[in-house]
Amino acid sequence: MNRQQNNHHDVTPASMVKGFGDSLNKDDAKRIDRMVNNYQSRILNHLNDEYVRSTRWSDRLADRMASFGGSWRFIIIFASFLVLWLIWNTLFTIRFDPPPFILLNLILSFIASFQAPIIMMSQNRQATRDKHEAIIDFAINYKAEHEIDDVQAHLHRMEHELSEVKSLLQQVLSKNN
């Protein structure tokens, strides 16, 4: 779940935005950063709430198991277990699994046979969640594009009206001269 929570779009802070001719003062940049972070956290909270509502406890358990199975902590613990197993069954006189380590092979096969489907189930849920997030991102981008188009159309109207006012002003000034 860490990946789900932390691997969202990296938002460029407003104070880092350059190239638009106007620079933002620190207060405006902080306010914009707060608004973006607030909006992003609300979406994350909504997605996390929906995840909790739409998944069973067994699914969440599988996700936690897959997360642990794909971590360095698991690798270190499991490598330590294997080293201890091999040392115990080769150096000590009381051996419960002498070479060729048939019991160890059975345990490794058992772990692999259960770990693979659990990881696949978790990946399928993550893919579904990523798809949902992509749809949300698309909707946000689509709405932003329409808003930009509206603003641009408004600016064109204002530019046209301003040129009309300018021509009327020139006509009035030419009549007065």
CB atoms under 10 Å from CB of 133, counted, come to: 17
Domain contains 172: no
**pLDDT given at position 60:** 85
Within this chain, do residues 43 and 128 fall inside the same structural domain, yes or no? no
Q: What is the largest CA-CA distance in the chain?
A: 117
CA–CA distance, 111 with 75 (Å, rounded to integer):
13
DSSP characters over the chain: -HHHHH-SPPPPPGGG--SSSPPPPHHHHHHHHHHHHHHHHHHHHHHHHHHHHHS-HHHHHHHHHHHHHTSHHHHHHHHHHHHHHHHHHHHSSS-SS-TTTHHHHHHHHHHHHHHHHHHHHHHHHHHHHHHHHHHHHHHHHHHHHHHHHHHHHHHHHHHHHHHHHHHHHHHHHHHH-
**pLDDT given at position 18:** 52
Q: Which two tokens stand for residue 37?
A: 């972070």
Within this chain, do residues 50 and 74 fall inside the same structural domain, yes or no? no
Within this chain, do residues 74 and 146 fall inside the same structural domain, yes or no? yes
Domain contains 4: yes
Within this chain, do residues 61 and 95 fall inside the same structural domain, yes or no? yes
**pLDDT given at position 49:** 79
**pLDDT given at position 41:** 80
pLDDT in single tens digits along all 177 residues of the chain: 444 444 444 444 554 555 455 566 788 778 877 877 787 788 777 777 777 787 888 888 888 999 998 899 999 999 999 999 999 999 988 999 999 999 999 999 999 999 999 999 999 888 988 888 888 888 888 888 988 988 999 999 999 999 999 999 999 999 887
Within this chain, do residues 49 and 92 fall inside the same structural domain, yes or no? no
Range of the domain at 21: 1-54
Residue listed under structure tokens 């609300």: 42
**pLDDT given at position 1:** 43
Task: Provide the number of structural domains found in the chain.
Answer: 2
**pLDDT given at position 22:** 55
